[in-house]
Structure 1
Amino acid sequence: MDKEKTFDDAMKDLEGIVQKLEQGDVPLEEALDQFQEGINLSRYCKRIIEDAEKTVTRMVNEDSSEDTADN
């Protein structure tokens, strides 16, 4: 998987895989490949979300520290 893929692009790809697999007419080998790619995309998206959460938490904590220092 392309590590430079945006979160939105990865989610669109993941949604496409889910739709394709839900149709049920995919050969087993292709379904397994698609499933594995879906797992990889899901993990990639999860890492992006976790990084964003850490950034927001850090920013909020820094802001709280500044507010406390001002008082």
Structure 2
Amino acid sequence: MAEESMTQPTDPSTLSFEEALRALESIVRRLENGDVPLDESISLYSEGEALRKQCMERLQAAEARIQKLTLDASGAVTGAQPFGAG
């Protein structure tokens, strides 16, 4: 476990959604164990918050792209507008 505490925080924007989620889960497990020193707990919490924010932003972007799909009268997908298109 000492090896984990020596790792440097990773920039969440460089991680895939799945990597960021795994890193967040790892931080939560470490904090729940309760054996992390206070200063490290604060750093881990801050890193976890950045990871949580990144995951939420990616989920919201994916949801917005899904909502941009165009459907015909029968409900079949007929096309999609690019994300951000009016």
Q: Which runs of 4+ in 1 moved over 3 A?
A: none
- For 1:50-69, what aligned pairs fall within 5 Å after superposition? 50-59=60-69, 62=70, 64=71, 67-68=72-73
Superposition TM-score, scaled by structure 2 size: 0.69
Percent of matched pairs sharing the same residue: 33
Unaligned runs of 5+ in 2: 1-10, 74-86
Q: Is the alpha carbon distance of 1:2 and 1:42 closer, same or farther for their aligned partners in structure 2, counting shifts above 3 Å? A: closer
Gaps of 5+ in 1: none
What is the TM-score of this pair, normalised by structure 1?
0.83
> RMSD of the TM alignment (CA)?
1.0
Structure with the bigger percentage of strand: 2
How far off its partner does 1:6 sit? 0.3
Q: Which has the higher contact order (CA 8 A, sep 6+)?
A: 1
Higher helix share: 1
